[in-house]
Amino acid sequence: MSGAGRARFDVGCVRLALMNETVAATLTVIAEHVERYRQQLAEVGPRAVQGEREDLRAAILEAEQGLRNAERLLRRAVKLAA
């Protein structure tokens, strides 16, 4: 590879690395927010539901599981972007 071609390649790698760092940082922030929402939902959770509302309890549990999965997938994406 010529000197000019190598320089363009190096600049491209630096840009890609900076972009990946930005993406990883953004994903980290989102994952932290999702974790916080999941924790808040777990605190309120199905125990707080009064009466015979099994449908609501089930929906809250399902939402908590969905947030847990979203957090796990975001953390995985962070590792891939880093």
Among the residue ranges 12-16, 31-35, 53-57, 68-72, the one predicted with the least confidence is: 12-16
- Show the 3-state SS of 2-19: CHHHHHHHHHHHHHHHHH
Tally of domains in the chain: 1
Q: How confident is the model at residue 9 (pLDDT cuts 50, 70, 90)?
A: very low
The reported pTM is 0.71
pLDDT digits (tens, 9 = 90+) for 19-66: 678 888 899 999 999 999 999 998 887 777 788 888 888 888 899 999
Angle value at C-alpha 49, between 44 and 51, nearest 5 degrees: 165
